[in-house]
Amino acid sequence: MKKINKALVNKNSILLWQGTAVSGFGDIMYDVAIAKTIYDNTNSTLLVSLAVVLNLLPTIILMPICGVIIENLSKKSVLIYTDLIRGILTIFLGLCFIVEFNYPLICIISFSLGVCEAFFRPSIISLVPQIIEEKLLAKATSITTVISNIVHILANFFSGIILLIFNVPLIIIINGITFILSAISECFISIVENKSASDKAVYNLKQIKSDFAESKTFFVQNKIYSVLLITYCTVVFLLSNYAILRIPFFETYFNIELYGISMAFMSAAGIVAPIFLGIINLQRDNYSILIGSFVGMSIPMFFIDTQHSIIIIIITLCYGFCNSIFHTVFNVLLFTGISQNIIARVTSITTPLILLSSLAGQLTGGILGDIFNINKIIKGVFMLVLVISVISIKRLNKLKLTF
């Protein structure tokens, strides 16, 4: 047990988790502050979603190329420099916001942060298997989920209160500081990367085409993986409609304080979910668990037009628990079983596809939110989640998916 714990929880993994946790806390505070200030100043869910789209768009476009490029670079250095750049840009935005609200500047900074993210994501995905043994990746994923949800609890719980106490520019500056703190913690990660990664980058168009061809072969030969990816992307698209409408929903029907409390309960339920998955027999009850997660996060949403705060909290709690199960199971299935030789290339394709699904969902939700009743949109979204989940799980069952 001690050997497993040491292999799983060591100096490098702690530093990586610490850095991402600090940065993640700032990100959540930043996202809530930006979404609220845009909606308050424009009263448009479309403009809120456009700011999000501009953040995700460069990541989606550039990540497939960046995934190939970073294989010839030091992943640790990429993490440090991208966090530093994001920190500087975010602090600059906060300082500018002290003068006045500037939507075009938000869009420019959001786009720039997305470019940095295109290099950051494949780097951290490639670095994790070098820090943690492959047989422990599932446990590491659960730990990461728990840490992420703890951060969500703290950030979301305090977001409503902090927005009442501090102004938006200060919150944005704090987010920039968290990026810099994350970069500092990453400096102390000790890892020996492949020689090709420490030498100067050597790559050409022919090599990039060859790498893409190898990734394409992987998807063609792994039908189950392709079905899993399509299912995940479809559900992410639908859930993103709800995500972009969440703050406008609370701003319209309740208040930002209830938003913070509800998100805290949602994240707390997300911590319990991985523990639940560790207790039950996932191999025996795999399909029941997946169906249960879809049903559990969808059915309560049909009662979202209530005027009672306690019911809203219960709905978001159920959503948090089941949504965490859904993401945990699918992330493990999509991450394990890929050769380390092509993991950066494969994930540099799958991650943009997932982000594209999220982007399309948030843009769609923003457009629909300016046209239709928000409650009706949310109900329709989760009705489709139920339909898609049943169809997809039947398909996976025929393909004999095992956990």
Q: How confident is the model at residue 32 (pLDDT cuts 50, 70, 90)?
A: confident
**Which of 10-14, 63-67, 173-177, 272-276 is the most confident on average?**
173-177
Q: How confident is the model at residue 264 (pLDDT cuts 50, 70, 90)?
A: confident
Pick from 382, 240, 377, 258: which is nearest to 310 by CA? 258
| Alpha helix segments (H runs only) across 9-136 | 11-42, 45-69, 75-97, 103-131
pTM of the model as a whole:
0.72
Query: How many Cα atoms sit within 13 Å of 188 on the Cβ side?
Result: 14
Contact assessment for residue 117 and residue 59, using Cβ atoms and an 8 Å cutoff = yes
Looking up tokens 């699904």 gives 357
Q: Assign domain 11-398 to its CATH superfamily.
A: MFS general substrate transporter like domains (1.20.1250.20)
As a whole number, mean pLDDT of residues 319-343 equals: 76
* Structural domain boundaries in the chain: 11-398
Contact assessment for residue 85 and residue 21, using Cβ atoms and an 8 Å cutoff = no
Alpha carbon 94 to chain centroid distance? 23
The pLDDT of residue 85: 94
Distance CA 363, CA 352 (A): 16
Kindly compute the dihedral angle of the four CA atoms of residues 227, 230, 233, 239, in this order, to the nearest 10 degrees.
-80
The pLDDT of residue 145: 62
φ/ψ of 49, rounded to 5, equals -70, -30
Say if residue 152's pLDDT is above 90: no
- DSSP structural state of residue 71: G
Name the token pair of 171: 């919150």
The pLDDT of residue 15: 76
Element (H, E) at 364: helix 343-369
As a whole number, mean pLDDT of residues 16-24 equals: 73
Contact assessment for residue 159 and residue 29, using Cβ atoms and an 8 Å cutoff = yes
As a whole number, mean pLDDT of residues 206-215 equals: 62
Pick from 389, 351, 353, 333: which is nearest to 119 by CA? 351
As a whole number, mean pLDDT of residues 146-168 equals: 71
Looking up tokens 């497993």 gives 4
Q: How confident is the model at residue 260 (pLDDT cuts 50, 70, 90)?
A: confident
Kindly compute the dihedral angle of the four CA atoms of residues 377, 379, 385, 388, in this order, to the nearest 10 degrees.
-80
Say if residue 327's pLDDT is above 90: no
Looking at per-residue confidence, does 373 or 163 come out higher?
373
Say if residue 384's pLDDT is above 50: yes
The pLDDT of residue 89: 93
DSSP letter string over 235-275?
HHHHHHHHHHHHHHHHHHHS-HHHHHHHHHHHHHHHHHHHH
Looking at per-residue confidence, does 328 or 203 come out higher?
328
Distance CA 32, CA 95 (A): 18
Looking at per-residue confidence, does 366 or 29 come out higher?
366
